[in-house]
Amino acid sequence: MQLWRARQVLNAVNGSSLLGLALGVASRSAFRRGPDGLVLATRSRLPLRGTVAVTVGDVVLSPEDDAFLLRRPRLLAHEGRHSWQYAVFLGLPFLPAYGVAAAWSYARGGDFGAHNVFERWAGLEDGGYPLVSARARRRLRAA
């Protein structure tokens, strides 16, 4: 059995993939099967300000088209790691945990990714995040 199938079952049972599908339908996304059991919900009309993809359960929501995502296997691997985080956190409890981690990252470094433990575990570079926080980048430029 491929391991991602276990993740799919966990995210189906914990409700996170159902929420992702509902968000995709509500945002009039186009759906397509992606790699490793992910569902690509593309051309999403969610206000995703400044990001190319957000994962909820096994559903990757993106304002871009599917060709854009499929040309970026590292980004899809990053989003796949987030789907594992939903499985490990038993679904929807992942959302407030992620929110706390993002707030901590912003308070510590001036951006939502560099110090966010979940983004680090998913691979900052694969997700398109800089390895150094915004505050540290400003300090380096000023030096």
pLDDT tens digits, one per residue of 112-130: 988 999 999 999 999 988 8
Better-scored residue on pLDDT, 141 or 77:
77
* Domain residue ranges of the chain, discontinuous segments joined by +: 1-89, 93-143
Tell me how far apart the alpha carbons of residues 109 and 136 are, in angstroms, rounded to a whole number: 7
Q: What is the pTM (predicted TM-score) of this model?
A: 0.91
What integer pLDDT is reported at residue 130 of this predicted model?
Answer: 80
How confident is residue 51, by pLDDT bands cut at 50, 70 and 90? confident
What integer pLDDT is reported at residue 78 of this predicted model?
Answer: 97
Better-scored residue on pLDDT, 134 or 6:
6
Element spanning 117, H or E: helix 117-122
How confident is residue 138, by pLDDT bands cut at 50, 70 and 90? confident
Q: Cβ-count burial of 25 within 10 angstroms (0-12 exposed, 13-18 middle, 19+ buried)?
A: exposed
